[in-house]
Amino acid sequence: MKITTASGIPVADNQNSLTAGPRGPVLLQDFHLIEKLQHFNRERIPERVVHAKGSGAYGTFTVTNDITKYTKAKLFAEVGKQTETFLRFSTVGGEKGSADTERDPRGFAVRFYTEEGNWDLVGNNTPVFFLKDGIKFPDFIHTQKRDSQTNLKSPTAMFDFWSRTPESLHQVTTLFSSRGTPDGYRHMHGFGSHTYSLINEAGERVYVKWHFLTQQGIKNLSVDEATRIAGTDPDYSQRDLFNAIAGGDFPRWDVKVQVATEAELAAWEARTGWNPFDLTKVWPHADFPLVTVGVLELNRNPVNYHAEVEQAALSPSNVVPGMGYSPDKMLQARLFAYHDAQLYRVGTNHQHLPVNAPRCPFHNHQRDGAMAGANGGAAVNYDPVQSQGSNPHGMGHGEPPLALEGAAGRYDGRGKEDDYTQAGDLFRLMPADEQQKLFNNIAGPLSQVSAEIIARQLAHFDQADAAYGAGVRQALKARGVNVA
Ligand code: HEM
C-alpha cells in the first residue's frame, strides 16, 4: 500500500529525511518528517483516572424472557430481539500498563446500542462498592493509587482509609476473597451494582439490580499464580479475551435482574434496617429472586484498540426511555463524573466517535468545538423548533414523579447504619478453605501497617464475625505481627 501524508499526498521516501547532502543537516521543508514527529508527540490521551487498564469487545444481547411488564425500553420489546453491545473490562487502581492480575475489583462496563440511544451499564464484577457517598470517592481512590511522595502503592493509606470507613467492609471482604483475583475477564460475573429503575408503558416504576452471570463458570487465580502471571504475562486478561473471541470461543453471560416495587423495598427496609439504595448492600436473592432477561455474547474484537477501546466513553447517566436512576448518593455523583471526565480525557465531541455514537438517528443543538464530526449538518441549531419534532420537555420519558423527603443537610450514617451484618453474611457463606485464604490475603498487606491501624481494622472484622477477626489475627501472628 502506498504511504501518504495525513492529507493523502504520496510520500516520496519514508526512510530517508530530506537533507542538504548525504550528511545533512535536515531541511525544514521535509514536511513529511515534521508531520510524522508532531503526530507521534501527540499519540497519548490521558488515561482514565480510574480503570485505566482495560480490554473491550463487541457483542450481541438477546432477549430470552419477556420483561415488558416492567419496562417499555425497546431493546426488551420481544423475546429473540437482538441489540449490538460493547463491553469494556478493566482493573481499577493500576495504570494503563499495570498487570491484569492485580488484586482489585474488575470493571464490567456494558453499552447497549439501542434504537432509542445508548444504554450504558457501567458496573463491576462485585455487587457492592466500598462507599455509599460519592464525596469520599476521590479520597478513596487516592489510597489505591500512588503515594504523593514515594510514588509507591501504600498499604498504610489503604487500611488507614478502610479502617476509618466501616461501610467499606463488605467490599473489602469481597476484594480479599478469591474473587479479588479472577482468572481473566471471561470467568467472572458482572453487576450493575447500584439500584436503578425500570418504567413500563403504564408509567409504573420498579427498582432493579442487574446481574450478568458468567456461562464460563467462576475461575479465580491463586495468589501465587496471580503474582507469577503479573511478571510473566501482565496482559493476561487482554490476551485471553482477544484470543478466545478470535478463535470463535465466544464468552457469554446470562443477564438477570432483581425486581422490587417501592412498597416491597419499604417493607424490606423496615424488616432489615438496610437502605435499599445503599451501594454497600446487596439485595439477598432469597428476598428478591433473579428474573431471567437474556444472554450477552461477546463475538467481535475491535479492529483498533485506541479508537474503539481507549476512546470508548461510557457513562451511567446514559439510560434510555423505560429506565431511570434511583435515590442512591453514589449514583448521583457518578451521573455527573463520567461525562465530565470524558470531556477532558477524549474531548468535547467524544460522542461523535464511532464507538460512542448511537446506532440510531440522533438530533440535538450542540454544535462545533474541537473535532466536531458531522456536527448536525445543515439542520437548525436552536430550539424550540416544534416543527422539527422536539421531544416532550423534561426528564424521564413518562417516568412517574418521584416523591422525595427530608430536610437538606449532610447526614453522617457512621455508627448509625449497619455496616457489619452483610459483610459477616458473606464471610459465613465462604467454606473454611476460602475463609483461610481471606485471612491470609488480608494479613499480607495488613501486616505492613502500624499497630494503631491494625487494631482499628481488626475491630471491624470482629464486629462482622468473631471468627473473621480471630482468623485475621492468627494469620497476622503467623507473619510475626504482635496482635492482641
Ligand atoms: C462516586 C463514585 C464514582 C466516581 C466519581 C467514579 C468516577 C469514574 C470516572 C471519572 C471514570 C473514568 C471515566 C472515563 O474517563 O471514561 C470511571 C470509570 C469507571 N468506573 Fe467509576 N466512579 C465511581 C464509582 C464507581 C462504581 C460504584 C463502579 C461500579 C459499580 C464504577 C465502575 C467504573 C468502571 C467500570 C469504569 C471504567 C469504564 C470504562 O471501561 O470505560 N465506578 N469512574
**For position 390, what pLDDT does the model report?**
52
Mean pLDDT on 122-129: 98
- Per-residue CA distances from 449 to 4, 148, 150, 157, 210 (Å): 57, 17, 16, 9, 37
Asked if residue 423 has its Cβ within 6 Å of ligand 1, the reply is: no
pLDDT digits (tens, 9 = 90+) for 56-91: 999 999 999 999 999 999 999 999 999 999 999 999
Grid cell in block for residue 386: 416544534
pLDDT digits (tens, 9 = 90+) for 385-442: 665 555 544 455 678 888 888 999 999 988 899 999 999 999 999 999 999 999 999 9
**For position 389, what pLDDT does the model report?**
55
Range of the domain at 190: 19-129+182-359
Number of domains in the chain: 1
CA nearest neighbour of 121 among 107, 134, 111: 111
**For position 404, what pLDDT does the model report?**
87
Asked if residue 333 has its Cβ within 6 Å of ligand 1, the reply is: yes
3-class SS of residue 12? coil
Mean pLDDT on 166-190: 98
135's torsion region: left (phi>0), alpha (psi -120 to 50) or beta?
alpha
Question: Which candidate in 32, 51, 187, 460 is catalytic?
Answer: 51
Cα(51) to centroid(ligand 1), Å: 7
**For position 104, what pLDDT does the model report?**
98
What are the residues whose beta carbons fall under 8 Å from the beta carbon of 51, sequence distance 6 or more? 90, 91, 92, 107, 109
3-class SS of residue 85? strand
Asked if residue 318 has its Cβ within 6 Å of ligand 1, the reply is: no
175 domain residue, yes or no: no
155 domain residue, yes or no: no
DSSP class per residue in 399-428: PPP----S-S-----TTTS--SHHHHHHHH
- Per-residue CA distances from 242 to 51, 131, 411 (Å): 19, 33, 46
Distance CA 424, CA 430 (A): 10
Instruction: Name the percent of the chain lying above pLDDT 90.
Output: 92
Please report, to the nearest 10 degrees, the dihedral formed by the alpha carbons of residues 220, 95, 334, 269 taken in order: 30
Distance CA 100, CA 91 (A): 7
3-class SS of residue 147? coil
pLDDT at residue 297 greater than cutoff 60: yes
pLDDT at residue 382 greater than cutoff 90: no
Mean pLDDT on 150-164: 98
**For position 388, what pLDDT does the model report?**
59
H or E element at residue 190: strand 190-191
If one residue of 131, 338, 340 were mutated to test the ligand 1 pocket, choosing by the most ligand atoms within 8 A of its CB, it would be: 338
193 domain residue, yes or no: yes
268 domain residue, yes or no: yes
CA nearest neighbour of 58 among 97, 111, 95: 111
- Ligand 1 atom closest to 344 (CA): 15
- Per-residue CA distances from 128 to 124, 148, 284, 437, 465 (Å): 8, 28, 12, 21, 19
CATH code of the domain containing 91: 2.40.180.10
- Ligand 1 atom closest to 56 (CA): 40
Asked if residue 92 has its Cβ within 6 Å of ligand 1, the reply is: no
H or E element at residue 210: strand 205-214
Cα(50) to centroid(ligand 1), Å: 7
If one residue of 47, 49, 51, 139 were mutated to test the ligand 1 pocket, choosing by the most ligand atoms within 8 A of its CB, it would be: 51
pLDDT at residue 462 greater than cutoff 70: yes
Indicate the residue type of 117: G
Active site residue 51: yes
409 domain residue, yes or no: no
- pTM higher than 0.85, yes or no? yes
**For position 354, what pLDDT does the model report?**
96
Q: Using an 8 Å Cβ cutoff, are 103 and 227 in contact?
A: no
317 domain residue, yes or no: yes
Active site residue 440: no
Grid cell in block for residue 225: 499464580
Asked if residue 337 has its Cβ within 6 Å of ligand 1, the reply is: yes
Q: Using an 8 Å Cβ cutoff, are 241 and 284 in contact?
A: no
Cα(392) to centroid(ligand 1), Å: 31
Question: Which candidate in 32, 118, 124, 194 is catalytic?
Answer: 124
**For position 269, what pLDDT does the model report?**
97
147 domain residue, yes or no: no
Asked if residue 54 has its Cβ within 6 Å of ligand 1, the reply is: yes
Grid cell in block for residue 267: 417493607
* CA-based torsion, 309, 311, 315, 318: positive or negative: negative
- Ligand 1 atom closest to 331 (CA): 1
Asked if residue 331 has its Cβ within 6 Å of ligand 1, the reply is: no
Asked if residue 158 has its Cβ within 6 Å of ligand 1, the reply is: no
**For position 394, what pLDDT does the model report?**
43
Cα(127) to centroid(ligand 1), Å: 14
What are the residues whose beta carbons fall under 8 Å from the beta carbon of 126, sequence distance 6 or more? 105, 171, 174, 175, 179, 191, 193
Grid cell in block for residue 218: 467462576
Cα of 35 vs its chain's centroid, Å:
37
- Per-residue CA distances from 267 to 62, 204, 270, 473 (Å): 34, 18, 5, 38
Distance CA 231, CA 401 (A): 53
Mean pLDDT on 356-384: 91
Whether residue 25 has a cis bond before it, omega within 30° of 0: yes
Mean confidence (pLDDT) of the chain: 95
- DSSP β-bridge partners for residue 124: 107, 191
Grid cell in block for residue 456: 482499628
Cα(67) to centroid(ligand 1), Å: 28
**For position 396, what pLDDT does the model report?**
58
373 domain residue, yes or no: no
Grid cell in block for residue 482: 504482635
pLDDT digits (tens, 9 = 90+) for 239-267: 999 999 999 999 999 999 999 999 999 99
* CA-based torsion, 144, 150, 155, 161: positive or negative: negative
Asked if residue 330 has its Cβ within 6 Å of ligand 1, the reply is: yes
Indicate the residue type of 148: S
Distance CA 313, CA 348 (A): 12
